[in-house]
Amino acid sequence: MFDVIVRNGLVVDGSGEAGFRGDVAVKNGLIAAVGTVSGSARREIDAGGRVVAPGFIDPHTHFDVQLLWDGAARPALEHGVTCIVPGNCSLSLAPLKAADRPKVVGMFQQIEEMPPEAFTQAFDWTWEDFAGYRDAIARNLSINVAPLVGHSVIRLWVMGEAAQQRTATPDEVAAMQDVLRECLKAGAVGLSTSFVDLDEHGRPVPSRFADFPELDALSAVLGEFGRMLQCVPEFYDVDITIARIDQLSELSLKHGIPTTFSPVFDNTSTPDNAPRILARVEEQFARGARVWPQMQTRPIDISFSLLRPSLFFARLPRWVRVLRQPLEARLHALNDPETVAKMVEDLGADGGQRMMGGLIVRGGDAAPAQMVGRALGEIAAERGQVPAQALIDISLEHGLDVAFLAADMGHEATDRIGPMLAHPLVHIGASDGGAHIASFSTYGDTGYLFSEFVRKSGGLSLEQAVRKITAETADIWGLEGRGRLTPGHAADIVIFDPDTIDRGEERPVFDMPGEGMRYVRDARGIDTVLVNGEVAYTAGAYTEARSGVVCT
């Protein structure tokens, strides 16, 4: 007697081989049989007309805090994602001394656009070390979690304030090695670092103060465990990115570790950049290095209102300062003609036409219907204003509750992206799941992979796409026993309709602690998701199953 048999599906097992009609049987949380399965089960699922595939693995997320109140990392799981990697970009919630919590919360707010209430209203912060964090999330998981530990927090743990002031002494480096070793023993699947990020005060995060010998020493510890080094390079500069690829490759070769960097964006205005990066990756792999570039499937867009700070204004420090203030002070500033004049001036001689003219008014509770769907430049011209001034005035006229969409900001040329995603050395990832929640939806990239690059463009076959986000990801990260529908592997299974799998429209919801807003996309075409053999999501609803684990 099996626990579950999924019958009559098109089994796409993660290997990349052609799918076949058959059954998948599950017992004790593991795949027990694949093929034509006789016998019975406590639960049988008819997958006729559907694909049966390994659960998807998302290697670049920031669900670190959400997991403390939402063990399903909603809506990631309903998109077929059964394993997530949080702790990217040098930030994790352990190891972290209580006194340093405000610093790291500030970094999460600044870098990942997480609201402060997410850290204060939904859970009791009881741990300091990595094992404590692991145990805190493990109590309520519906999804599997393979957590990274952040370089910045390890530096803070060992060096305190000096972590953001200087390079480390040999003793401090040795102490960091010990801390990293403990984290890896406690279940971390690797170390993340960042070469680009700033904290909420505009200071480089601690990992950026580390010299190369420090990273080398930490990579030596990763080598003891064969674990991953993840980094976010200066992705906006191709020469620096290539230099980072070379550094990562040296570490990979010296210590025998896998490395990965993200994101890699394609932009038709700089069409040579992504190909140059991939060419360097090919050269380094040919030397034996493992340096996996992560590329997201979705185009870049940002939604924002003046109700809260946004990534959109990252290159406008004055706007950031104004929008970071509490509401009353922000309104005061936006009503101050002198301040507004300077803000408009910051946009340059065209008053923001180039940066803001193409913004689309997307709605919001107070958005006037006649503006929705129209370009800000056009509306501004009607008002006799430059776009930057119009953006501020329209927002003020409607209580700041008018949302704007900056669409097509890059990475949108399907005919270019498809072949890159299909490249054998490109690691599909970089979703940023759970981050930037008020700027864009970081959920549904897997659905978009199938709708845009399998069905629409044919850039990848169904089997190829499944393999890229299942077995290949598990292999890259060393997640043994996951990513394949093979007897003995974990029964992480997604059942989906290949003709309809997709991401839904982006929409705002208010389900964050403190009724905080985030953008989400619902799943389309996903029937059922099993995590370690338990049905965690089916027929459009989450179940009570809590079968997720911290997996290594």
Partner 1 sequence: MDLTIQRRFVTPMAGESVQDIAARALPGEPLDSAVDQIRSWNLHIFAMRKPAGLILGSDVVFVEPPRR
CB of 269 to partner 1, least distance (A): 16
Q: Considering the complex, what minimum distance in angstroms separates the CB of residue 277 from partner 1?
A: 11
The residue among 145 and 196 lying less far from partner 1, judged by its C-beta, is 196
The minimum distance between CB 438 and partner 1, in angstroms, equals 25
Minimum distance from residue 218 beta carbon to partner 1 (Å)? 12
Nearer to partner 1, 247 or 528 (CB): 247
Site of tokens 């845009």? 452
Report DSSP letters for 147-191, one per residue: --EEHHHHHHHHHGGGGGTSPPPHHHHHHHHHHHHHHHHTT--EE
Go through 109-118 and write b for each residue having 16 or more CB atoms within 10 A of its CB, e for each that does not.
Answer: bbbbbbbeeb
> Are residues 408 and 301 in contact, defined by beta-carbon separation less than 8 angstroms?
yes
DSSP character string of 204-228: BPGGGG--HHHHHHHHHHHHHHT-E
Least distance in angstroms from the C-beta of 283 to partner 1:
5
**What's the closest the beta carbon of residue 448 comes to partner 1, in angstroms?**
32
Both tokens of 120, joined, read 């204060």
Cα(109)–Cα(520) distance, integer angstroms: 18
CB of 113 to partner 1, least distance (A): 20
Q: Which two tokens stand for residue 492?
A: 């992480």
| CB neighbour class for 326 (10 Å; exposed up to 12, middle 13-18, buried from 19) | exposed
Q: How far is the CB of 252 from partner 1 (least distance, A)?
A: 14
Q: State phi, psi for 433 to the nearest 5 degrees.
A: -45, 130
Minimum distance from CB of 209 to partner 1 (Å)? 5
Q: Based on CB atoms, which residue is closest to partner 1, 226 or 288?
A: 288
CA distance 469 to 14: 8
* Cα distances (angstroms) measured from residue 234 to each of 194, 207, 242, 432: 9, 14, 9, 16
Kindly tell me which of 237 and 345 has the beta carbon lying closer to partner 1.
Answer: 237
Nearer to partner 1, 211 or 515 (CB): 211
Which pair of tokens denotes residue 86? Answer: 């949080």
Minimum gap (Å) between residue 167 Cβ and partner 1: 4
Nearer to partner 1, 58 or 197 (CB): 197
The binding site for partner 1 (CB under 8 A) comprises 166-167, 195, 202, 204, 207-212, 214-215, 234, 237, 239-240, 242-244, 246-247, 279-280, 283-284, 286-287
CA angle, residues 363, 310, 337, in degrees to nearest 5: 85
Q: Given the complex with partner 1, which of 207 and 310 has the nearer CB atom?
A: 207
Write down the least CB distance from residue 475 to partner 1, Å.
22
| Cα separations in angstroms, 260 against 70, 233, 437 | 27, 10, 24
Single out the residue of 45, 41, 75, 42 nearest to residue 58, CA to CA. Answer: 75
Contacts of 406 (CB under 8 A, 6+ apart): 301, 302, 303, 304, 312, 358, 359
40 or 165: CB nearest partner 1: 165
Strands 291-295, 427-428: pairing is parallel
Number of Cβ atoms within 10 Å of the Cβ of 341: 11
Contact 89, 446 (CB under 8 A): no
Nearest alpha-carbon partner for 199 in 161, 231, 239, 253: 161
195 vs 453, which CB is nearer to partner 1?
195
CA angle 40, 41, 42 (to 5 degrees): 140
Residue 367: CB atoms within 10 Å = 19
Report the nearest approach of partner 1 to the CB of residue 90 (Å). Answer: 10
Q: Which of 322, 376, 317, 302 is nearest to 113 (CA)?
A: 302
Based on CB atoms, which residue is closest to partner 1, 84 or 196?
Answer: 196
Q: Cβ closer to partner 1: 20 or 212?
A: 212
Residue among 34 and 278 whose Cβ is closer to partner 1: 278
Q: Which two tokens stand for residue 206?
A: 């601690």
Closest to partner 1 by CB, 245 vs 485, is 245
